[in-house]
Amino acid sequence: MKFQIDRDELLRGLGRIQGIVERRGTLPILSNALFQVREDGITLAATDLEVGVTATLAAKVTKTGAVTLVAKKLYEIVRELEETELTFSLEEGSRVRIDSGKARFSLLSISPEEYPSIPSGDGVNFVEMEASLLAEMVDRTMYATSTDEARYNLNGVFMELTEDKRLRCVATDGHRLAKIDKTPQKPLEFLSKGIIVPRKGVGEIRKLCDETDATVELGLRDGFLIVRRTGLTLSCRLIEGEFPNYRQVLPDDPKVRLLVDRERLLHAVRRISLLAHERSRGFRLAIEDGVLELSANNPDLGEAVEQLEIDYSGKRVETGFNARYMLDVLGSMISKEVSLELTDELAPARICPADDPDLLAVIMPMRL
């Protein structure tokens, strides 16, 4: 195996896989990246068995072959090299020699036969989708996923094709829920039965969307969601399990519906939450004629109150929320105004952008 490669080209590839390789994993091979050197160029691959990425890199290949090298250390080395051209060659005793000007490194390689297989895009029926649209759907929902490993079926974003052929993403951690429906240029028919894409995979998909201006391709293969763009293929092992019946939690017919300036509300919640109880992060939200009042008190520190003017007349409604949940929701939206819909102090609250019926967030209150 021998090839020459541009330093920046390799650095981009190595940088792309750093989030995937394990730093201190139980399996040493998973700290490594796989280089497959073919006549027409090389591919660089990494996986943690859940998420896999394969990137093609331009290189001048002298001799084909395959090696695995410890990904983080190699990244650090390449970052420090000054020459623009690097030469990789396999030495005796499965060492890989890297030459760059007068600098020379010799790195141990683990046999590529030991490297776990990464699902490729070959033979997958891909459907194209606008990268920016997919990115938006991720941004509006991912925050609501659960990090509690005991609730593995909530550790990702649920994606499905709706009856009217739209793409729906839903995420929930049991306390709050985010749902978005959008219409991609082509319906993702393979999602007629929904899938749960784990957080880490969703994060990688989001990155991939940023790396292209045009479209990405999506498809399913043996329990993996495959997403690719030119030069890069990503595979995400799907979470096996049922996503809960989220339709039941979507509140209908709220008692109170009011429009609030999103940024004003967000900043007010952020201020008030400074005096919320550290652990519960709870604050009170009350509405009555013309006024929305936010308040918090912390027995060790003191209390805070802030009022916002609103267009409301009717019964007083008071409830409490975790400030973090409210900030997450308001921060995930971009509209100028949001519609805040409440029923009573124990019923789920619904928040949606005033100008976008496709997006919806639900937060359960807190008993304060």
65-70/32-38 β-pairing? antiparallel
Tell how far CA 313 is from the center of its chain: 40
Q: What residues from 261 to 280 belong to the interface with other proteins (CB under 8 A)?
A: 277, 279-280
How far apart are alpha carbons 191 and 145 in whole angstroms? Answer: 19
Q: Counting contacts by CB under 8 A, is residue 49 touching other proteins?
A: no
DSSP structure class, residue 317: E
CA distance 291 to 314: 11
Return the structure tokens found at 156.
Answer: 């990702």
CB of 298 to other proteins, least distance (A): 11
Q: Cα separation of 228 and 189, whole Å?
A: 17
**Please, how many CA atoms are within 13 Å of residue 301, restricted to the half-sphere of its CB?**
12
Task: Name every residue whose Cβ is closer than 8 Å to that of residue 193 and which is 6 or more positions away in sequence.
Answer: 160
Rg (CA), the chain: 25
Print the binding letters for residues 129-168 with other proteins: x by CB under 8 A, - otherwise: -----------------xxxxxx--x--------------
Contact criterion met (CB below 8 Å) for 199 and 188: no
- Which of 33, 323 has the CB closer to other proteins? 323
* Residue 304 binds other proteins (CB under 8 A): no
Is residue 322 a contact point for other proteins (CB under 8 A)?
yes
**Is residue 174 part of the contact set for other proteins (CB under 8 A)?**
yes
Least distance in Å: CB of 149 to other proteins? 6
Which parts of 3-42 interact with other proteins (CB under 8 A)?
A: none
- Residue closer to other proteins (CB basis): 248 or 313: 248
- 86 contributes a contact to other proteins by CB under 8 A: no
Q: Site residues for other proteins, window 240-259 (CB under 8 A)?
A: 244-246, 248-249
Residues that bind other proteins (CB under 8 A): 146-151, 154, 172-177, 244-246, 248-249, 277, 279-280, 282, 322, 346, 348, 362, 364-368
